[in-house]
A and B are shown apart, each in its own frame.
Chain A
């Protein structure tokens, strides 16, 4: 099983600031990496797939990068609606998810 490790567990950021979230895979997943946003009481929402392609309707302030085992999600200027939990997921070999990064208001 491919283990996905996200860091940090919690990120405190002020509105308007940049947030950088990391995700590491225990073995290469090529570019088969997605990022999801989840708000309380809601289902996850796909943000990024293929490591760097934004899903339909996702604002340009969300960007993804990386390949192999190291990946990053960047939110360039945090808006109030961006405070949520973010999960990375590999889909190269079944699916496994990271444990999540909570982005909270500083």
Chain B
């Protein structure tokens, strides 16, 4: 059974850093396109970042230069390192599998506030 479990969210002050993880089971992350999508409270979905099976990465303009996506093939996980956090980064962060997002995790909440 395919499963994605995010962790690492929490309350962080503006300017701080946080690292989110997405643990996958039932498939191999290195063979898939893996993405992070976020959803601010009461708002819609926003694509954040993607890592291709070959390792190439891309970012939304809103996070470019501040967030870094990576993958640990030995642990079958995908991570999102978030630096220089801003209030507008407050959101539920989901990881999703595939170029058409057929599986999603339950999300991890990031709150950026002083």
Chain A residues at the B interface, C-beta cutoff of 8 Å: 34, 36, 42-46, 49-50, 55-56, 87, 89, 91, 94-100
A-B contact pairs, 21 of them (CB 8 A): A36-B45, A36-B101, A42-B106, A43-B107, A44-B101, A45-B104, A46-B103, A49-B100, A49-B102, A56-B102, A87-B45, A89-B101, A94-B47, A94-B60, A95-B35, A95-B47, A95-B50, A95-B101, A97-B45, A98-B44, A99-B44
Additional 6 contacts, C-beta under 8 A, given A44-B45, A89-B101, A95-B37: A34-B101, A42-B106, A55-B102, A94-B60, A97-B47, A99-B44
Query: Roughly how many angstroms separate A55 CA and B111 CA in the complex, as a whole number?
Result: 33
B57 to chain A, nearest CB (A): 12
**Are the CB atoms of B100 and A94 closer together than 8 Å?**
no
List chain B positions with a Cβ less than 8 A from chain A: 35, 37, 44-47, 50, 58, 60, 94, 99-107
Q: A56 CA to B98 CA in the complex, in Å?
A: 14
Given contacts A89-B101, A94-B58, A95-B35, A43 and B106 within 8 Å (CB-CB): yes
- Contact residues in A for B44 (Cβ distance below 8 Å): 87, 97-100
Closest Cβ of chain A to B101, distance in Å, is 6
Interface on chain A toward B: helix, strand, loop, or mixed SS? Answer: loop
Instruction: Report chain B residues within 8 Å CB of A56.
Output: 102
Residue of B nearest to A50 (CB): B100
Tell me, in angstroms, the Cα distance from A55 to B35 when the chains sit together.
Answer: 19
A94–B62 alpha-carbon span in the complex (Å): 14
Please state if A46 and B100 are interface contacts (CB–CB under 8 Å): yes
CA separation between A34 and B96, bound complex, in Å? 14
